[in-house]
Amino acid sequence: MPQPHCEQEPKRIPLAYLITFRTYGTWLHGDERGSVDRFHNVYGTPRLPPNRQRKKYERSLLAGPAVRLGSRRRAAVEKSIRETCRIRKWQLWAFNIRTNHIHSVVSAKREAWEVLNALKANATRVLREDGLWRSKHTPWVRRGSKRRLWTEQDLFNAIDYVLYDQGEPLP
């Protein structure tokens, strides 16, 4: 029996995304900066408080050492982000690559998770090609933040945050 025709509402793609992902093992639950776990992941709620016992437990679960991005690794990640956006014809508005996380502001007619996954996968590929990552494991945490930027003001605020609110420039 044929299914009745159903108009699907077109997916709304935001003006841009603020994509953030961390390196493996550098911000564990229980950390003094606070954290968010799957049971406390509600927008606007406070982070979990520091907890030395939980941090110690989380550290014991790590499959390897925490990953830091020195200057050569940061340069490789920068190259990969620029290349990914150029090849896919995505607008790269801003990025900031720190020692333990990456922020990027990207416009793409794609779902946020596709942008996040492409940036992480290509960063790993370039790190491996450049001989800067030899582990079979990923250098990134499992997920990442994918904020949707709906207005020009959201976009301007995200660019400002990425470029000017991350601390001193790294060498």
Please report, for the chain, the start and end positions of each structural domain, with discontinuous segments joined by +: 16-164
CA atoms within 13 A on the CB side of 15: 12
Tell me which of 103 and 50 has the higher pLDDT.
Answer: 103
Tell me which of 100 and 33 has the higher pLDDT.
Answer: 100
Phi, psi of 126 (to 5 degrees): -65, -40
Q: What is the mean pLDDT of residues 86-104?
A: 98
The 10s digit of each residue's pLDDT in 44-65 is: 777 788 889 988 988 899 989 9
**With contact defined as beta carbons under 8 Å apart, do 149 and 16 qualify?**
yes
pLDDT at 10: 57
Fold of 16-164: Alpha-Beta Plaits (3.30.70)
Q: What is this structure's pTM?
A: 0.85
